[in-house]
């Protein structure tokens, strides 16, 4: 019996040690909870808008102010991501795609996640007030509240949640522009429109790939029944068509060279091509290609806009 107990104890120690090596650490879980891959895209759009909104361009460029703007914005976004997962922990546990998230999987206690998300969000908003300006902080707070209090609960009520969610989802360019100029000019709203429209094909492809998961969790990001396919097609193709039209605005208004206009048009046509392929095939591989195209499209377009300003 003693030998058996020792063997069991040794086995238990081995299993605990092995589990500690396999399972993510607590620090890693908190990092994952902030959705760093989403924050990277948020930081990119915020930084691009900040640069485009800076009056002096590279001459005496306010690098420190940009760093402050990015830090505060990412903190608010990180807190929003944590609070969103806290609110949806029971539903995340039903989806294969999200079941291993730290809160849904039980690795982080809900109360700790709530405290973490609240403190990080508040710190980000306060940081923007102290180091950037009130407008940038106010826009970040509006983004946070509309994301959590409108989009998140509406996901289980109506497919209109996609439209509602795209409103705060497009706010990072406004935050970046406000951080640079202290006001919102028409150019800032053009950037907002581009990111707003970009979200629809991007999210429709994701929603189509994981539609069974969303249905299992009770999310209504896509309509049920025969209306599902038309909604997916319209919300994919119509924004892409409008984006192609927006790409012609700089050329028609005389901003930038014809070469930049052609490059922008080709970029938008390439994005639209993958949207059409997805609409025709409606398959998992086509959806993944559209997601990848959307991820490459947005930073490429922003870089192109920056090059046009520099040139």
pLDDT in tens, 29-63: 999 999 999 999 999 999 999 999 998 766 788 99
% of residues, the chain, pLDDT over 70? 88
pLDDT of residue 11: 38
Q: Is the pLDDT of residue 178 over 70?
A: yes
First to last CA, the chain: 82
**Which is more confidently placed, 27 or 80?**
80
Burial class (CB in 10 A: 0-12, 13-18, 19+), 310: exposed
Which tens digits make up the pLDDT trace of 195-222?
A: 999 999 999 999 999 999 999 989 999 9
Specify whether the CB–CB gap between 113 and 85 falls below 8 A: yes
Report the chain's mean pLDDT, rounded to a whole number. 88
Q: What is the mean pLDDT of residues 238-255?
A: 79
Q: Is the pLDDT of residue 65 over 90?
A: yes
**Cα distances (Å, whole numbers) of residue 2 to 5, 7, 15, 89:** 5, 9, 20, 44
Q: Is the pLDDT of residue 194 over 80?
A: yes
Q: What is the mean pLDDT of residues 133-162?
A: 96
Q: Is the pLDDT of residue 76 over 60?
A: yes
pLDDT level of residue 15 (50, 70, 90 thresholds): very low
Q: Is the pLDDT of residue 10 over 80?
A: no
**Cα distances (Å, whole numbers) of residue 56 to 49, 51, 135, 311:** 14, 9, 20, 14
pLDDT of residue 163: 95
Overall pTM > 0.75? yes
- Phi/psi for 107 (5° steps) reads -80, -25
Which tens digits make up the pLDDT trace of 270-287?
A: 999 999 999 999 999 999
Q: Is the pLDDT of residue 83 over 70?
A: yes
CA 142, distance to chain mean position in Å, is 16
Q: Is the pLDDT of residue 241 over 80?
A: yes
Q: Which CATH superfamily is domain 27-182 in?
A: UbiA prenyltransferase (1.10.357.140)
Helix (H, G, I), strand (E, B) or coil at 155: coil
% of residues, the chain, pLDDT over 90? 75
Domain boundaries, the chain: 27-182, 185-311
**Residue 235 structure tokens:** 């919300």
Class of the CATH-defined domain 185-311: mainly alpha
> Among 245, 269, 253, 239, which Cα is nearest to 308's?
253
Q: What is the mean pLDDT of residues 188-195?
A: 95
């Amino acid at each position: 019996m003693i030998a058996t107990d020792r063997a069991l104890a040794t086995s238990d120690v081995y299993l605990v040690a092995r589990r500690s090596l396999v399972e993510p650490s607590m620090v890693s879980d908190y990092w994952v909870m902030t959705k760093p891959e989403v924050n990277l895209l948020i930081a990119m759009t915020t930084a691009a808008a900040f640069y485009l909104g800076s009056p002096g361009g590279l001459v005496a460029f306010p690098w420190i102010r940009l760093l402050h703007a990015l830090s505060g914005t990412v903190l608010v976004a990180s807190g929003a991501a944590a609070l969103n997962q806290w609110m949806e922990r029971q539903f995340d546990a039903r989806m294969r795609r999200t079941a291993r998230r730290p809160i849904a999987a039980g690795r982080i206690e809900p109360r700790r996640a709530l405290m973490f998300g609240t403190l990080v969000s508040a710190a980000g908003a306060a940081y923007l007030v102290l180091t950037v300006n009130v407008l940038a902080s106010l826009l970040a707070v509006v983004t946070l509240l509309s994301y959590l209090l409108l989009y998140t609960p509406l996901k289980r009520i109506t497919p209109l949640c996609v439209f509602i969610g795209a409103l705060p989802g497009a706010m990072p360019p406004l935050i970046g522009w406000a951080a640079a100029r202290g006001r919102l000019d028409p150019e800032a709203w053009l950037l907002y429109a581009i990111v707003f429209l970009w979200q629809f094909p991007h999210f429709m492809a994701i929603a189509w790939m994981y539609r069974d998961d969303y249905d299992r969790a009770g999310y209504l990001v896509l309509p049920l029944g025969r209306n599902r396919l038309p909604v997916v097609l319209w919300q994919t193709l119509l924004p892409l068509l409008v984006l192609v039209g927006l790409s012609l605005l700089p050329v028609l208004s005389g901003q930038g060279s014809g070469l930049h206009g052609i490059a922008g048009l080709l970029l938008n046509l390439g994005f639209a091509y993958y949207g059409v392929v997805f609409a025709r095939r409606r398959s998992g591989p086509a959806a993944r290609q559209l997601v990848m195209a959307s991820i490459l499209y947005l930073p490429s377009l922003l870089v192109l806009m920056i090059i046009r300003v520099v040139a």
